[in-house]
Amino acid sequence: MTTSNKVVLVTGCSEGGIGFALCEAYAAQGCVVYATARRLESMQKLSDSNIHTLKLDVLLDADVEDVVSSIVNREGRIDILVNNAGAATPGAVLDSTVDRVRAAFELNTISVFRVSKAVARYMAQRKSGTIVVIGSVAGIVPTPWGGIYPATKAAVHMMMDILWMECKPLGIHVTVVAAGGVKTNIAKNAAQPNIVPEDTLYSAYTSRILSLLPDSQAKMHPDAPYSCS
């Protein structure tokens, strides 16, 4: 099989993010790309004829099963899965609510397991395939005011390291991309009004905490150096 006809599934492909850029990069190399997001309209600028857009909520078992099976039924396989869907959770750990922590792990960690498990079943049948996870340096290097996001990424890194060992005899390769600073809409999408609650223990640092969102993105540039090979 040449690199020009690999079937790629990418999650979290809304415009302005890593997934969007990856879809364009894969398509430019001749891959058959399935771009997914919760809202189809968020991917409407993906115009390459090699890119097909599908609605997918990675938090829902039924959605994941339907999308994965429909791609396999149409293409016969999925060669590369890129788990990119996720969201930032800025703010101090002690300022977070249990619901917010749970939601962060559901999206950034558990959904990766959900999609990977669904796709791996088909890859194992062919003893071929690659599962990619867009991780983060934040999951390796702790930083204050990062909130729960680094913890979700650290969990993903460990889970994928183990999955790499467990999938090797199945013919499936697993890799984690510990992404550094990339200019995307992740900070903008995370700008929620309750990042610093009224009863915060860090009132003296409120302005600094809020300034981290735009500052962290100011000098970054989008990049998608990933190959079909």
Name the catalytic one among 34, 149, 168, 183.
Answer: 149
Annotation marks residue 149 as catalytic: yes
Annotation marks residue 153 as catalytic: yes
Q: Which stretches of the chain are DSSP H helices?
A: 18-28, 61-75, 98-105, 111-126, 149-167, 186-189, 206-217
Q: Distance between CA atoms of 66 and 72, rounded to whole angstroms?
A: 10
Name the catalytic one among 6, 34, 122, 153.
Answer: 153
Residues in the chain: 229
Give the residue numbers annotated as catalytic, written as ranges.
149, 153
